[in-house]
């Protein structure tokens, strides 16, 4: 369904053009007088005590037709009427044309609609109100709800500001596809829908594997008691469509056709429940209902019901119900009445019906396992409070799947702020073994040359640091994440990082994972940056591994000259409070690191 909320975004008053034919109108008074009188700030469509109005072209035309409007009498009701009927192109004037129909002149007959539409496309108010402008109007401009089938509703094949149209069947079908056509305005898109839908002789499109109703068109063999008696409901299967006919009236009676099907709703996950909906399409106006399996259950007991006509594919609500035996009833006319007209056995009386069944009806916030910050095909997440908050905002996350949008929503609703290592200056020490990180609320601290990362860019990032106690090849990996990661390693400081290695989508790393290898030198502190390539990312793991030999116990030799001395002390002090110069692996250079350096003073062993 199209959103109509953004019409509230308005621009200030704009300079509004009037078609050239108005400018060329013969003047009853001099150009000098016209320029002086027609420079008013008052609207041409509002009564005011002074002569003239705020459009030179409209004012000139009105005063040509009624000179008193530019005289001492002011701009009275008669002047407003003349302007409304003649000022083509003036915003709000009837002469400008409907906002929902294209026309050559700019603007339309609703000033507020003009302003709303031209906030998105100024062309509509300066050049021409074309088809694109009418589409904007359908979204942006308020209309009046209407009732299908009323004679004053307007043609289904021409746009109008009020909702609905005069053909009951056509109107019902179009508003099933786009409810705004009845609740807001019958705009250009509604007309297009009517032209496609409201055609005689339609036939519902059946699934390739659809089964056929076994009852012949003019017989009554599957209705046990609703209208006919003694019939036996035909068996249908879950998720398998049936194509049938509502049939003509039996020649000897004026009784409509009713089709009844028996179905068993399965329970494949063992929770006793199944998620069920009805899919239905019909040539004539007709309905389908799911009812209990008891003989001739009244329609007041219907669990689900859906109506269709003109072959529109309609879907009922979705409901979790106990697995077991039910019946599907199909009838013509308006639910819950059994009706419909006398129809010959042709494509004009056909329908398709299917009972869609899925599982997982249990509480996803109570039974699901998995982090709320990891996307997956299953519903819900393990944190009941966070899960409930997210699903209250977006039911899809508990009804269908916990996808990337659910993860991002969880970050906004369930996290108090960005992760602790959102900034390079707060990089966390990368210890051996898998280490969790979460990028959902992280920001992007620095840009990155995409060519250095195989064409990839970070959209967000978190930071780790590692001071090497090895001399040789080291591997850092973020393999098997659920989102696409980028991984980079830097030397230097947070204020001037120098990229050493970067990767996106490493081989044998889960398809979306990243891995870097580099040669580490003893005592060097490396900055590790990881984040999503697209979107907000979420929770994943990062790890470090190496088989390189352990460095000799001389980590305090920061400048690698073979001894711990004054240059090393200077380097440590320059990195005070950051990860640079961190000798004990705490992630920050502080007094403990100074003690390590002083205790190792002198030549390295």
Which of 248-252, 378-382, 585-589 is predicted with the least confidence, judged by mean pLDDT? 248-252
Distance CA 222, CA 227 (A): 11
Residue 454's pLDDT is: 75
Percent of the chain with pLDDT strictly greater than 70: 91
Three-state DSSP at 529 gives strand
Give me the pLDDT at residue 315, please: 92
Cβ count within 10 A of residue 389:
17
Distances (CA, A) of 426 to 251, 445, 494, 527: 85, 12, 10, 11
Residue range(s) occupied by CATH 2.60.120.380 in the chain: 211-358, 424-546
Does domain 211-358 correspond to CATH entry 2.60.120.380? Answer: yes
Read off the pLDDT band of 601 (50, 70, 90): confident
- Which one, of 243, 233, 208, 217, lies nearest residue 354 by Cα? 243
pLDDT tops 70 at residue 142: yes
Looking at per-residue pLDDT, the higher value among 435 and 40 belongs to: 435
Q: Is the pLDDT confidence value at 252 over 60?
A: no
Give residues with Cβ within 8 angstroms of 111, minimum separation 6.
45, 91, 92
Q: H-helix or E-strand containing 477?
A: strand 472-478
454: β partners: none
Please count the CA atoms within 13 angstroms of the CA of 237 that sit on its side-chain side. Answer: 6
Question: How far apart are alpha carbons 575 and 403 in whole angstroms?
Answer: 42
Which residue, among 215, 208, 292, has the nearest Cα to 257 in the 3D structure? 215
CATH code of domain 424-546: 2.60.120.380
CB 61 within 8 A of CB 21: no
3-state secondary structure of 525: strand
Residues 425 and 583: their CA atoms lie apart, in Å, by 16
What HEC string does 185-204 produce? CECHHHHHHHHHHCCCCCCC
What is the rounded distance in angstroms from the CA atom of residue 572 to the CA atom of residue 556? 9
Classify residue 372 as exposed, middle or buried by CB count within 10 Å of its CB (0-12, 13-18, 19+).
Answer: buried
Q: pLDDT tens across 43-86, in order?
A: 999 999 999 999 999 999 999 999 999 888 889 999 999 999 99
Mean pLDDT of all residues in 165-193:
89
Question: Reduced to 3 states, what is the DSSP secondary structure of residue 228?
Answer: coil
Q: What's the gap between Cα 598 and its chain centre? A: 60
Residues 479/513, Cβ–Cβ less than 8 Å: yes
pLDDT score of 583: 86
Determine contact, residues 520/548, Cβ cutoff 8 Å. yes
More confident residue, 433 or 89: 89
Beta-ladder partners of 68? none
For residues 8, 9, 15 and 21, what is the CA-based torsion angle, rounded to 10 degrees?
-60
Q: What is the CA radius of gyration of the chain?
A: 36
C-alpha separations of 342 from 149, 215, 255, 280, 423 in Å: 21, 17, 9, 21, 74
Please write down the long-range contacts of 337-340, taking CB distance under 8 Å and 24 or more positions apart: 338/226, 338/227, 338/256, 338/258, 339/256, 340/246, 340/256, 340/257, 340/284, 340/285, 340/286
User: What six digits make up the tokens of 254?
Assistant: 């004026």
pLDDT at position 160: 86
pLDDT > 60? residue 161: yes
pLDDT at residue 218, as a whole number: 77
- Please state the rounded mean pLDDT for residues 89-99: 94
Mean pLDDT of 488-512: 91
What's the mean pLDDT when you consider all of the chain? Answer: 86
At 354, is the pLDDT very low, low, confident or very high (cuts 50, 70, 90)? Answer: very high
> What pLDDT was estimated at residue 5?
31
Residue 530 has pLDDT above 90, yes or no: yes
Query: With 90 as the cut, is the pLDDT of residue 105 above it?
Result: yes
> Cβ distance 49 to 41 under 8 Å?
no
**3-class state of residue 31 by DSSP:** helix
Confidence of residue 1 (pLDDT cuts 50, 70, 90): very low
Contact 5, 112 (CB under 8 A): no
Evaluate if residue 23 carries a pLDDT over 70. no
Return the pLDDT at 120. 86
The pLDDT value recorded for residue 474 is 95
348-362: average pLDDT: 89
Bridge partners (DSSP) of residue 277 are: 356
Q: How many Å apart are CA 287 and CA 302, to the nearest integer?
A: 12
Higher pLDDT, 64 or 37: 64
pLDDT of residue 166: 94
Higher per-residue confidence, 376 vs 559: 376
Write down the pLDDT at residue 30: 52
Return the axis-axis angle of helices 131-140 and 111-118, rounded to nearest 10°: 100
| Residue 15: band (very low, low, confident or very high) from pLDDT cuts 50, 70, 90 | very low
pLDDT of residue 11: 32
Q: Percentage of residues in the chain with pLDDT exceeding 90?
A: 55
Q: Residue 395 above 90 pLDDT?
A: no
Instruction: Give the model's pLDDT for residue 448.
Output: 67
Could you report the per-residue pLDDT of 436-487, keeping only the tens digit for each? 999 999 999 877 666 678 788 899 999 999 998 888 999 999 998 999 999 9
Residue 252, C-beta contacts closer than 8 angstroms, at least 6 positions apart: none
Grade residue 322 by pLDDT with cuts at 50, 70 and 90: very high
Q: Which residues pair with 437 in a beta bridge?
A: 540
pLDDT of amino acid 295: 80
What is the reported pLDDT for 165? 95
Q: What is the mean pLDDT of residues 379-387?
A: 92
pLDDT band at 604 (very low <50, low <70, confident <90, very high): confident
> At which residue do the structure tokens 């099907």 appear?
261
Would you say how long the chain is, in residues?
605
Task: Look at residue 427 in the predicted model and tell me its pLDDT.
Answer: 95
The residue among 580, 587, 520, 579 whose CA lies nearest residue 550 is 520
* pLDDT classification of 349: cutoffs 50, 70, 90: confident
DSSP string computed for 447-466: ---GGGGTT---SS-EEEEE
How far is the C-alpha of 24 from the C-alpha of 46, rounded, in Å?
24
Who wins on pLDDT, 171 or 360?
171
pLDDT value, residue 551: 78
- CA 464 vs CA 179, 292, 439, 476, 543: distances in Å: 52, 60, 13, 11, 11
In the prediction, which pLDDT does 20 show? 34
Residue 504, C-beta contacts closer than 8 angstroms, at least 6 positions apart: 453, 454, 455, 456, 484, 485, 486, 487, 514, 533
pLDDT (0 to 100) of residue 55: 93
Query: Does residue 546 have a pLDDT over 80?
Result: yes
């Amino acid at each position: 369904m199209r959103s109509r909320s953004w019409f509230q975004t308005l621009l200030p008053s704009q300079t509004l053009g009037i078609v050239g034919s108005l400018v060329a109108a013969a003047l009853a008074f001099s150009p000098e007088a016209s320029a002086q009188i027609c420079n008013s700030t008052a609207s041409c469509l509002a009564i005011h005590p002074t002569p003239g109005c705020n459009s030179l072209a409209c004012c000139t035309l009105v005063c040509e037709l009624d000179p008193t409007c530019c005289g001492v009498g002011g701009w009275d009701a008669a002047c407003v009427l003349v302007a409304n009927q003649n000022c083509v192109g003036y915003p709000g004037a009837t002469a400008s044309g409907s906002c929902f129909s294209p026309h050559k002149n700019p603007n339309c007959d609703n000033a507020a609609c003009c302003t709303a539409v031209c906030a998105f496309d100024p062309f509509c108010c300066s050049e021409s109100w074309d088809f694109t402008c009418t589409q904007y109007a359908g979204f942006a401009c308020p209309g009046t709800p209407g009732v299908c089938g009323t004679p004053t509703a307007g043609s289904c094949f021409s746009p109008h500001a009020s909702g609905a149209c005069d053909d009951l069947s056509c109107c019902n079908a179009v508003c099933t596809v786009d409810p705004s056509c009845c609740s807001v305005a019958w705009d250009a898109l509604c007309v297009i829908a009517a032209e496609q839908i409201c055609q005689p002789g339609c036939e519902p499109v059946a699934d390739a594997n659809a089964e056929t109703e076994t009852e012949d068109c003019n017989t009554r063999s599957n209705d046990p008691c609703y209208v006919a008696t003694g019939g036996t409901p035909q068996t249908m299967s879950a998720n398998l469509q049936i194509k049938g006919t509502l049939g003509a009236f039996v020649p000897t009676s004026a009784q409509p056709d009713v089709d009844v099907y028996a179905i068993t709703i399965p329970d494949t996950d063992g929770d006793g429940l199944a998620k069920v909906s009805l899919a239905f399409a019909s040539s004539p106006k007709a309905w389908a209902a799911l009812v209990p399996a008891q003989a001739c259950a009244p329609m007041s007991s219907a669990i689900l019901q859906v109506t269709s006509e003109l072959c529109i594919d309609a879907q009922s609500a979705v409901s979790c119900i106990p697995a077991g035996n039910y019946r599907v009833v199909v009838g013509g006319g308006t639910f819950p009445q059994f009706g419909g007209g006398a129809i010959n056995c042709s494509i004009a009386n056909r329908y398709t019906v299917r009972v869609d069944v899925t599982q997982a009806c249990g509480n996803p916030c109570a039974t699901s396992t998995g982090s709320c910050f990891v996307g997956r095909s299953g519903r819900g997440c393990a944190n009941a409070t966070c899960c409930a908050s997210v699903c209250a905002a977006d039911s899809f996350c508990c009804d269908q799947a916990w996808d990337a949008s659910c993860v991002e929503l969880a970050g906004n609703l369930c996290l108090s702020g960005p992760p602790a290592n959102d900034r390079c200056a707060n990089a966390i020490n990368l210890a051996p073994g898998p280490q969790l990180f979460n990028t959902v609320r992280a920001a992007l601290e620095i840009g990155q040359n995409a060519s250095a990362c195989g064409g990839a860019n970070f959209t967000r990032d978190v930071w780790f640091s590692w001071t090497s106690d090895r001399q040789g090849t080291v591997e850092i990996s973020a393999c098997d994440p659920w989102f696409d990661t980028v991984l980079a390693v830097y030397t230097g400081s947070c204020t001037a990082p120098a990229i050493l290695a970067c990767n996106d989508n490493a081989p044998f790393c889960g398809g979306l994972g990243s891995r870097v290898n580099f040669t580490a030198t003893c005592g060097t502190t490396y900055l590790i940056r990881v984040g999503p390539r697209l979107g907000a990312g979420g929770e994943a793991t990062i790890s470090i591994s190496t088989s390189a030999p352990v460095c000799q116990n001389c980590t305090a030799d920061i400048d690698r000259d073979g001894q711990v001395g004054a240059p090393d002390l200077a380097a440590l002090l320059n990195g005070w409070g950051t990860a640079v110069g961190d000798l004990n692996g705490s992630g920050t250079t502080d007094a403990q690191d100074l003690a390590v350096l002083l205790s190792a003073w002198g030549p390295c062993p």
